[in-house]
A and B are shown apart, each in its own frame.
Chain A
Amino acid sequence: MSGNGEWCTIESDPGVFTELIRDFGVKGVQVEELYMLEEQLFEEFKPIHGLIFLFKWVPEAVDPAKILRHNDIYFAKQVIHNACATQAIINILLNCHHADIELGAALAPFKDFTQSMDPMLRGQCLNNSDQIRAVHNSFARNEVFETFGRKTDKDEDAFHFVGYLPAAGHLVELDGLAEGPIDHGVVADGADWLAMAKPIIEERMNRYAGKELRFTLLAVVSDRKLVYTRRIEELQKKNESMPSDEAIEEINQLKEQIEQEKLRDKANKIENIRRKHNFLPFIVELFKVLGDSTKLSSVYEEAAKRGQERERRNKRLKTESA
């Protein structure tokens, strides 16, 4: 129960994190998954405030000389086992000074309160924050299915999240398990921190590749609707002084994209409603309906066959990568 300070595991999904951030009361940001480490993608999502790298955790020593202690970098150590995603996101958000971002009623006071503390104490404060924990835990999967999960689900625990972002003029890596922010060098004036981060993350991916490790790269970006709206206003102004069909076309396209974003927001909300829903009665009724309406046994045989095929495929993949 919440009183015992439990943090549940939540799904590593950009939609979940976007909702999570919004539920913290943070305005102006969302989380996007970057399927590739491509500059083109960076362009599309700019401004990008930080990257979150998710990987299967392997113990790694951090060179103490690379730890950068700086008053302008906010860093909280991770003392919570199940909340490394939330932790990584909060570490990034609390380092954001972009005008688009408003920390809101949960995180702004938290930052003020913990500003003068050391990373360990900050981590403990985060752990003890009922408000932040309550939001985090509201993304838990329905407990019925937590209970009945297969053993392999436990693998989730071994995943770890670290953040990359520009802070105090440096490219830093915030790893809640490290002693402090890890310095990846000074971001030169006018240089793009993302261009700097790319080879560093690539190198890391290559290091893990071949060990059957999966990773995910997420980006904390400005709220797309905000970005599109701003662009529309810009185009409208331009169009007033110098009308052009291209501007109007782009405006319409952006309006369409805003609608798409709204649909995505709604889809995320529905997903989360489903995540929390107890589907047991639905499942039983569905089987009854299938039993009454169709050849349930052939549906089952098909499903069992597919399951076996998938299992074989997985096994083959495992032996290939071993």
Chain B
Amino acid sequence: MALFGRTTQQRGASRYLVEFKAGRMTMEGKTVKADPRAGIVYIIKSEEDSLLHFCWKERAAATAEDDLIVFANDVELKKVPQCKDGRVFVLKVKETGRKLFYWIQEPDAAKDDENLKKVSEYLAGKTPPRNAAGAGAEGGGLPADLQAMGIDDAALQEMLGGVDRNQLMQLLGMQGGGGAGNLLQGLRSAVRQEGSAAAAPTATPTSRPPTGNASARGAPRKTATNAAPTSRIQLADLRSILGAVAPGAPAATEESAPIDWTPALSQSLLLPILSNPAFVERLTPHLPQDPLVPQTAQEVMSTIQSPQFQQAIGAFTSAFETRQLGPLIQEFNLGPQAVQAAQNGDFRAFVKALEKKKEEEAAPADSAAKPAAVGPSKPNNDDDEMSVD
């Protein structure tokens, strides 16, 4: 994947929160082999996405070779007692079981426990006391504009439920230009409030878009303000998206042909559906919001038939079939069967789940869903109305 294949560039000049000299080890079959290069393990709060990163780089190198965004308690660093001939730490990603091994290159073995403790505290979402951490963990206070809105710490906590303060600060500090931040913009509107805030924790290699400054919109400050009421969702989104691209997601249907939606989503199929204002109103909020894009049934139709949308839906189905969308689907309140189908990469089952969900929701909703008599769906928009004939 283009997005994640890139090696991470050096992240500004910010200082490491913890660091110790260590080499990397690679798994070869069942044995772990030491990479002889001199290296350094460090934890850093990225200036770019304000998230905590666990990194390893060659000591002289500018960029990290291992770079994982870590959320509280998603990963743990432990000593490997089985290793008698050296001092080895293992970083375990709890959910996926992925393991990264490092051999300590610090001369003083007595410091190992101290380093381990510091790292573990950061990985557990705690911020060690500043002086103990060696480097200044930044900013404790809430963004000024939140305070100006009369939202204090406690209120935020209440609003955001279970999210811990560290994670919250990470979110609020998130730069508008960051990949995930941008993803969230679009998702925010669609994600249901009741979506599980406690989405499965994940750790994943740094994700940064190849799109460069294309996404550099939205000043961070503004993001913080907007983010407040929906932050709980955002965190869940963020996690799911990061989770969605977790490494090693098996490609379930590699050989299967890509689905061709173009003829299936035909005018003749869509016309009766889009003559129902209720359906149109569900779709228009998800159209691009731009003065050039009228929020009409006609626009929904032409959007669905545009190559850009076709490309998007193709990418969606292929991501679905390769099991990349499991955590994401969870956020859309489609029911457990749909989530299960997404986790299995089984699109047919997904379709069945959506149909079944409708049946379960029974008659009253069903009758409302019947195409209404042909007529303008939004009286104030007559000009743009789709003609049905």
Let me know if A146 and B211 touch, CB within 8 A.
Answer: yes
Let me know if B259 and A148 touch, CB within 8 A.
Answer: no
Which residues in chain B, 314-357, are within 8 Å of chain A measured between CB atoms? 314-316, 318-319, 324, 328-329, 332, 334, 347-348, 350-352, 354-355, 357
Identify A283's interface contact among B216, B312, B354, CB under 8 A: B312
How far apart are A273's CB and chain B's nearest CB, in angstroms? 5
Q: List chain B positions with a Cβ less than 8 A from chain A.
A: 1-4, 9, 48, 177, 179, 182-183, 185-187, 189-191, 207-216, 245, 257-265, 269, 273, 276, 279, 282-283, 286-288, 290, 292-293, 303-304, 306-309, 311-316, 318-319, 324, 328-329, 332, 334, 347-348, 350-352, 354-355, 357-358, 365-366, 369, 371
Question: For chain A, which range describes its interface: under 10, 10 to 19, 20 to 34, or 35 or more residues?
Answer: 35 or more
Let me know if B283 and A137 touch, CB within 8 A.
Answer: no
Is A306 on the interface with B (CB-CB < 8 A)? yes
Which residues in chain A, 284-298, are within 8 Å of chain B measured between CB atoms? 284-297
Which residues in chain A, 259-300, are within 8 Å of chain B measured between CB atoms? 266, 269-271, 273-297, 299-300
Let me know if A310 and B257 touch, CB within 8 A.
Answer: yes
How far apart are B130's CB and chain A's nearest CB, in angstroms? 29
Let me know if B210 and A143 touch, CB within 8 A.
Answer: yes
Given A133-B212, A307-B258, A311-B257, decide whether A148 and B351 contact each other with a Cβ distance below 8 A: no
Chain A at the B interface: mostly helix, strand, loop or mixed?
A: helix
Question: Which residues on the A side are within 8 Å of B328 (C-beta)?
Answer: 280
Is A304 on the interface with B (CB-CB < 8 A)? yes
Question: Which residues on the B side are within 8 Å of A304 (C-beta)?
Answer: 257, 259, 347-348
Let me know if B312 and A145 touch, CB within 8 A.
Answer: yes
Is A203 on the interface with B (CB-CB < 8 A)? no
Is A144 on the interface with B (CB-CB < 8 A)? yes
Is A308 on the interface with B (CB-CB < 8 A)? yes
Contact with B along A31-63 (1 / 0, CB 8 A): 000000000000000000000000000000000
How far apart are A267's CB and chain B's nearest CB, in angstroms? 10
Contact with B along A133-162 (1 / 0, CB 8 A): 110011111111111111001100000000
Given A4-B9, A293-B371, decide whether A145 and B292 contact each other with a Cβ distance below 8 A: no
| CA–CA, A109 and B259, complex, Å | 48
Let me know if B269 and A276 touch, CB within 8 A.
Answer: no
Let me know if B318 and A150 touch, CB within 8 A.
Answer: yes
Let me know if A148 and B318 touch, CB within 8 A.
Answer: yes
How far apart are B276's CB and chain A's nearest CB, in angstroms? 7
Given A278-B186, A283-B313, decide whether A291 and B357 contact each other with a Cβ distance below 8 A: yes
Apart from A133-B212, A150-B318, A274-B288, 15 more pairs, CB < 8 Å: A1-B48, A1-B177, A4-B9, A7-B212, A139-B214, A141-B311, A146-B3, A147-B1, A147-B245, A274-B303, A274-B309, A285-B190, A294-B269, A303-B260, A310-B260
Is A2 on the interface with B (CB-CB < 8 A)? yes
Question: Which residues on the B side are within 8 Å of A154 (C-beta)?
Answer: 2
> Nearest 10 CB-CB pairs, A to B?
A281-B190, A278-B186, A2-B213, A291-B354, A148-B319, A311-B257, A282-B286, A274-B308, A303-B264, A279-B312
Identify B209's interface contact among A146, A149, A287, CB under 8 A: A146
Let me know if A300 and B351 touch, CB within 8 A.
Answer: yes
Question: Which residues on the B side are within 8 Å of A1 (C-beta)?
Answer: 48, 177, 208, 212-213, 216
How far apart are B112's CB and chain A's nearest CB, in angstroms? 35
Let me know if A293 and B262 touch, CB within 8 A.
Answer: no
Is A8 on the interface with B (CB-CB < 8 A)? yes
| CA–CA, A270 and B309, complex, Å | 12
